[in-house]
Amino acid sequence: MTTTVFPAFRTTDAAATIDLLVTLGFTERLIVRNEHDPALVEHAEFALDDNGGIMFGSVRNDGSALDSVGGSSMYVVVDTEREVDRLYQEIVDMGHAIVRPVATQVHGGREFDFRDHDGNSWGVGSYRGA
**What pLDDT, on the 0 to 100 scale, is given for residue 63?**
84
Would you say 37 and 49 are in contact if contact means Cβ atoms under 8 Å apart? no
Residue whose C-alpha is closest to residue 8's, from 50, 68, 98, 63: 68
CB burial class (10 A; 0-12, 13-18, 19+) of residue 16? Answer: middle
Residue 1 confidence (pLDDT) above 60: no
Question: In sequence order, what are the beta bridge partners of 121?
Answer: 73, 115
pTM (global) more than 0.75: yes
Residue 2 confidence (pLDDT) above 70: no
Give the Cα separation of 54 and 18 in Å (integer). Answer: 11
Residue whose C-alpha is closest to residue 49's, from 73, 25, 31: 25
Residue 52 confidence (pLDDT) above 90: no
Give the Cα separation of 127 and 45 in Å (integer). Answer: 24
Q: How large a percentage of the chain has pLDDT more than 70?
A: 98
* Per-residue model confidence as pLDDT tens digits over 8-29: 999 999 999 999 999 999 999 9
If pLDDT is split at 50, 70 and 90, which confidence band does 109 have?
A: very high
**What pLDDT, on the 0 to 100 scale, is given for residue 33?**
97
If pLDDT is split at 50, 70 and 90, which confidence band does 3 have?
A: low
